[in-house]
Structure formats: C-alpha cells, structure tokens
Structure 1
C-alpha cells in the first residue's frame, strides 16, 4: 500500500516537473525561436547592404545581446529544475529543451561575432 502511494506521489511530482518544462519549451518555441529566426533574416539583409552604418551594426549587436540574455535566462531556469532519477520523461524533456536553447544561443553568438568583425 505505502509503495503504491509513493508511486502516485512520485507520478504527481514528475507531472508538475513536466508541466514546468513544457511551459519553458513553449516559451522557446513560440517566443524565442521565432525572434532568432527573424534576427537571422535581418542580419542576412544587413550583410548584403553595401553601406553598413555603425549605428545599424550596434543595433544588431544589441539585439544579439538581448536574445543571448533571454536564452541564458531560459538555460538558467532549466538548470533550476531537478529531475529525479526515475523521472525519465521529465529528464528527456529537460535535455531536449536545453539542447534547443543551447543551439539557438550558439547561433546568436556566431552571428554576433560575425557582426563585430564587419567594417563600415
């Protein structure tokens, strides 16, 4: 009997963890990923311009810093979610969300370093 109650509590606890992870994943998919995609598009346009002003370059670098901060915040939130050994689904979701956020962050960092090397 006590083992069954323990199993139910663990399941509820994992479900709460899964819901937190799904909320963060949704934030990545609905909010951050589209912003990064739009930013990539803006940078491609910026890079094709013959005249690149310092002001425009700084604006794009600032946008990269903003997106980087958002992604670091998400990674920090994911890091704060502990998944028990037997929370297999929660662990899988957390790993997947970290991978997506890290990939987006790497993309933003790559763009930022390209931008910084641009001469007027």
Structure 2
C-alpha cells in the first residue's frame, strides 16, 4: 500500500500526519491491490493481511528464481565477471533483509511456511555465491592478481 499526497508519495511510515504537512480536509490517495475473498480463503487463517505478507514474500521468491539462473550460469562457466558475483551477493543479502521485515503472526501459518522456505532458498543461493567468490579468489591468488572485495 502506498499513500499519495499533493503529488508526492509519502515515504516515512513512522511520521505523523502533522509532520507531513497534511491539513484537515486534504485528499490522500491510497494505492494498492485489493484483496479478493478467494485469495484470503486460500490461506490457512483466511486473513487479508496474510495475503499481503504472501505477496511480499512472493516478490522475493520471483527475484530469487531469477538470481538462481544467473548463479547456475556462473557455476557452469569460468568466472570472468567479479562484479556479477558481488552484485548477486548484495541482492541476496537485501532479499534476506526484506524477508526479515515481513512480520507474520503465528496464526499466518501459510505465510510463515512460505517465508521460511524462501529464506532457506536465499541462504542456499548465498552459500553458492560465496563458493563462487572463494573459487574466484583462489584463482586470482594463484595468478598473483588482486582479490575479490
């Protein structure tokens, strides 16, 4: 969900209405997807908030699958691009931080299980990237070239 006021997006979730300069009778536009009853019923809790958690988790899952393909490509060939390895490492760390920000109450069993699965996927991908980093560093050490940061 995103809030739009006076032509700009409200970024600070913790700010008060007064600190944002919003006056009485102002118009605030709420942007977001409406949860369908069918979507909510597919979750164990039947709660619309769980659907929101699931959609945030699914975005990370979709990104992770893309990164998995890139990691597989790097594992098959000679690691030429150290920046690609560093990029993947950074993106996987960001994905884990994003997943840490998804708070799933204990009643959201479907979302909690999916979050757990995606965290395990990201961690295993990060292990593979770390292995690529070490093999790159080992190859560079043998050749007397600077290490990967």
Q: How many Å separate the matches in 1 of 2:76 and 2:105? A: 40
Q: Secondary structure at the match of 2:47?
A: helix
Q: How many Å separate the matches in 2 of 1:38 and 1:70? A: 17
Greater percentage in helix: 1
Match of 2:53 in 1: 17
Match of 2:72 in 1: 37
Q: Secondary structure at the match of 1:28?
A: helix
Which one has more relative contact order, counting CA pairs under 8 Å at least 6 apart? 1
> Displacement of 1:90 after TM fit?
0.3
Q: Do structure 1's residue 64 and structure 2's residue 99 form an aligned pair?
A: no
Hey, which bits of structure 1, 4+ residues long, moved more than 6 A? none
Unaligned runs of 5+ in 2: 1-40, 144-149
Q: How many Å separate the matches in 2 of 1:10 and 1:17? A: 12
Unaligned runs of 5+ in 1: 1-7, 47-55
Q: How many Å separate the matches in 1 of 2:60 and 2:97? A: 11
> Displacement of 1:63 after TM fit?
2.0
Task: Figure out how many residues of one structure are paired with residues of the other and give that number.
Answer: 98
Which structure would you say has the larger Rg? Answer: 2
Match of 1:76 in 2: 97
Greater percentage in strand: 2
Question: What TM-score comes out, normalization by structure 2 length?
Answer: 0.60
Q: CA RMSD in A?
A: 1.9
